């Protein structure tokens, strides 16, 4: 059993799984087919992960299959780059569509045929009204709409006009094909919705073949029916579209009868999951690209070092419900941290180095100390680190005039260097401007391994690297892109956090980190979880902070 299958078995109960189970038990369906239907107009984000885990998860759990279907009906916004990225990201998340890769554009001919079917049965008509006129006659939530003056065209005239629309005779926006349902319906989606619009645009897959394109509503359910989808699971905003979904399935000679079910989309605090805004963040240069580690995209999370299993675990824990809610992004980070705490090996890295010289350690000498790779997993083994006379410690771990509760290094205090010795600071060296540039310390040779034979204790253990063989690196720390918990999507540019990226140019890492692989996140002891960034080159390492060791969101919210 694969990890994903195992997770699927352990997946929680929810109302959609209850429906699927009941449909199998009652014999309504012999096997289950679901689909994940992204529009290739952007990269996938953590919200899509919820839908992917649900659709692929249900298929695996109940022995069915899940289709990956590109909902590519709007050629002005869709690109091959997005198709490729979506395929890569679904696979990375741990799911496999096997043979079941489809495109709504593969069904354009069939959909066209069905549109003519609706015309012939008197259930669709060509409307010459402009967009504004249609909007003005649609009515409101409390008032019915009014019929279009073109509503009662003959079947012949409708067929002729629709065929000429297809032939490219009319400019964009000149006419549309509408379903003839009910302009007085309480549900605005049923007030003669648009099925086809004219669009002279080249499509990534069908090229110039089409000058009319089906609407989402016309393409979606019919694509489900063609593929034999049994449960068409989508987010709540489509609940009001369900009557139209059902109307089209009832009024067309479709080969199967899919049903639509809605669940609540994922919302996260401090996070925008609107593809429109994410696109603007990329296009406007507010971030370095779709895979910028500050982005909530799967590509961004991957680059940041978030393991796919942590995303699946997060999605499992939030569950599937019917009511919209917002999940605290701190909970996402909690799950990532918990996962990495279990899986990431420990290393030492000094982000803001302060040099220390151990005056009573012989010049030119070096010794190896043994460091454990994972405190809770002995099978992860140990490694050797070189301890020498000159070391770097974290600048923050020293204070010349410490307040009462500061237990780390200060003049005269003794602390432990992890895995090595106790040291005491004897002298502070400053430059002309008064900045501390070096500490002169002494070590106690009897404390090798970090314990004093006389039983004396120290209050702090510091991480360190040796000056001689540590490797320099750039370390990128990420802060929330939006400081407000509920960013105003309309004015997102004014809400962007100017300090979302903090670059540390001259960190120092223990040598083993030079061999890190991008898919192997590590813990920098006392700092957090990090992984190499693809910007790394043989002579310049770059690391990303995936997540810190502690929850910083509480602080952010309080400050916000």
Residues found near ligand ATP in the complex (CB under 6 A): 37-39, 41, 47-48, 50-51, 234-235, 265-266, 273, 275
| Residue 30 beta carbon to ligand ATP: minimum distance, rounded to whole angstroms | 25
Find, among 548, 391, 398, 530, the residue nearest to 464 by Cα: 391
Q: Give 271 or 544: the residue with its C-beta nearer to ligand ATP.
A: 271
Q: Is 265 a catalytic residue?
A: yes
Strand bridging mode 422-430 / 414-417: antiparallel
Give the per-residue SS3 of 295-332: CCEHHHHHHHCCCHHHHHHHHHHHCCCCCCEEECHHHH
Q: Give 7 or 72: the residue with its C-beta nearer to ligand ATP.
A: 72
CA distance 129 to 329: 46
CA distance 40 to 104: 11
- CA distances 372 to 35, 332, 367, 368, Å, are 45, 28, 17, 13
With b meaning 16 or more CB within 10 Å and e meaning fewer, what string describes 87-122?
Answer: bebbebbbbebeeeebbbbebbeebbebbbebbeee
Q: Give 297 or 483: the residue with its C-beta nearer to ligand ATP.
A: 297
| Residue 325 beta carbon to ligand ATP: minimum distance, rounded to whole angstroms | 11
Q: Give 47 or 64: the residue with its C-beta nearer to ligand ATP.
A: 47
Q: Give 70 or 529: the residue with its C-beta nearer to ligand ATP.
A: 70
| Residue 48 beta carbon to ligand ATP: minimum distance, rounded to whole angstroms | 5
Q: Is 275 a catalytic residue?
A: yes
Q: Give 37 or 521: the residue with its C-beta nearer to ligand ATP.
A: 37
Q: Which of 87, 265, 316, 383 is catalytic?
A: 265
Find, among 343, 350, 306, the residue nearest to 511 by Cα: 350
Q: Which of 21, 39, 88, 313 is catalytic?
A: 39
Q: Give 220 or 545: the residue with its C-beta nearer to ligand ATP.
A: 220
Q: Is 39 a catalytic residue?
A: yes
The counts of H helices and E strands in the chain are: 15, 27
Give the per-residue SS3 of 463-514: CEEECCCCEEEEEEEECCCECCCCCCHHHHHHHECCCCEEEEEEEEECHHHH
Q: What is residue 94's DSSP assignment?
A: T
User: What long-range pairs does 202-206 form, CB within 8 A, spacing at least 24?
Assistant: 202/75, 203/72, 203/75, 203/78, 203/105, 204/40, 204/72, 204/75, 204/78, 204/79, 204/80, 204/83, 205/72, 205/103, 205/105, 206/105, 206/108
Q: Give 273 or 442: the residue with its C-beta nearer to ligand ATP.
A: 273
| Residue 14 beta carbon to ligand ATP: minimum distance, rounded to whole angstroms | 13
Q: Compute the Cα dihedral for 519, 524, 529, 533 and give only its sign.
A: negative
Q: Which of 35, 178, 191, 275 is catalytic?
A: 275
| Residue 172 beta carbon to ligand ATP: minimum distance, rounded to whole angstroms | 21
* Residue nearest ligand ATP, Cβ-based: 47
| Residue 52 beta carbon to ligand ATP: minimum distance, rounded to whole angstroms | 8
CA distance 232 to 219: 13
CA distance 551 to 400: 28
Where would I find the H helices in 95-231? 108-120, 131-136, 155-166, 216-227
Q: Give 39 or 390: the residue with its C-beta nearer to ligand ATP.
A: 39
Residue 52: phi and psi, rounded to 5, are -65, -50
| Residue 466 beta carbon to ligand ATP: minimum distance, rounded to whole angstroms | 47
| Residue 348 beta carbon to ligand ATP: minimum distance, rounded to whole angstroms | 39
Per-residue tokens: 557: 């919210």
| Residue 275 beta carbon to ligand ATP: minimum distance, rounded to whole angstroms | 4
Which residues does the annotation mark as catalytic?
A: 39, 265, 275
């Amino acid at each position: 059993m694969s990890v994903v299958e195992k997770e699927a078995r352990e997946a929680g109960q929810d109302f959609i799984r209850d429906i699927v189970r009941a449909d199998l038990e009652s014999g309504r369906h012999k096997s289950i087919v679901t689909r994940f239907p992204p529009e290739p107009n952007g990269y996938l984000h953590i919200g899509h992960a919820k839908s992917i885990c649900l659709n692929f998860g249900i298929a695996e759990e109940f022995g069915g299959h899940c289709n990956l279907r590109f909902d590519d009906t709007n050629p002005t916004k869709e690109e091959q780059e997005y198709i490729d990225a979506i395929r890569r990201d679904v696979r990375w998340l741990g799911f496999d569509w096997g043979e079941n890769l489809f495109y709504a554009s593969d069904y354009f001919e069939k959909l066209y045929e069905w549109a003519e079917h609706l015309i012939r049965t008197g259930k669709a008509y060509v409307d010459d009204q402009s967009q504004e006129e249609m909007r003005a006659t649609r009515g409101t939530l409390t008032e019915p709409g009014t019929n279009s003056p073109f509503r009662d065209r003959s079947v012949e005239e409708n067929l002729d006009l629709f065929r000429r629309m297809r032939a490219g005779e009319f400019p964009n926006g000149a006419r549309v094909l509408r379903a003839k349902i009910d302009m007085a319906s309480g549900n605005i989606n049923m007030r003669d919705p648009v099925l086809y619009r004219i669009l002279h645009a080249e499509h990534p897959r069908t090229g110039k073949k089409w000058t009319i394109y089906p609407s989402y509503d016309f393409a979606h359910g019919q694509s489900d029916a063609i593929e034999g989808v049994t449960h068409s699971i989508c987010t709540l905003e489509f609940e009001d579209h369900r009557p139209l979904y059902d109307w089209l399935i009832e009024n067309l000679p479709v080969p199967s009868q899919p049903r639509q079910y809605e669940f609540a989309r994922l919302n996260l605090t401090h996070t925008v999951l609107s593809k429109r805004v994410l696109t603007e963040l990329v296009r406007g240069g507010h971030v370095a690209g779709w895979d910028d580690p500050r982005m909530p995209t799967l590509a961004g999370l991957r680059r940041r070092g978030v393991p796919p299993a942590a995303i699946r675990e997060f999605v499992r824990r939030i569950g599937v419900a019917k009511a919209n809610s917002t999940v605290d992004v701190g909970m996402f980070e909690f799950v990532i941290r918990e996962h990495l705490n279990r899986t990431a090996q420990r290393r030492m890295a000094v982000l803001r180095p302060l040099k220390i010289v151990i005056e009573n350690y012989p010049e030119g000498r070096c010794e190896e100390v043994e460091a454990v790779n994972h405190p809770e997993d002995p099978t992860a083994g140990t490694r050797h680190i070189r301890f020498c006379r000159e070391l770097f410690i974290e600048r923050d771990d020293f204070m010349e005039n410490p307040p009462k509760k500061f237990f780390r290094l200060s003049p005269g205090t003794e602390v432990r260097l992890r895995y090595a010795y106790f040291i005491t600071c004897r002298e502070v060296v400053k430059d002309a401007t008064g900045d501390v540039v070096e500490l002169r310390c002494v070590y106690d040779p009897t404390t090798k391994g970090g314990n004093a034979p006389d039983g004396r204790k120290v209050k702090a253990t510091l991480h360190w690297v040796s000056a001689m063989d540590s490797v320099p690196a750039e370390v990128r720390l990420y802060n929330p892109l939006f400081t407000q918990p509920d960013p105003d999507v309309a004015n997102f540019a004014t809400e962007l956090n100017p300090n979302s990226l903090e670059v540390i140019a001259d960190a120092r890492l223990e040598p083993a980190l030079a061999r890190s692989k991008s898919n192997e996140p590590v813990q920098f002891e006392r700092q957090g979880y990090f992984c190499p960034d693809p910007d790394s080159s043989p002579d310049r390492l770059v690391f990303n902070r995936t997540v810190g060791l502690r929850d910083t969101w509480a602080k952010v919210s309080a400050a916000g």
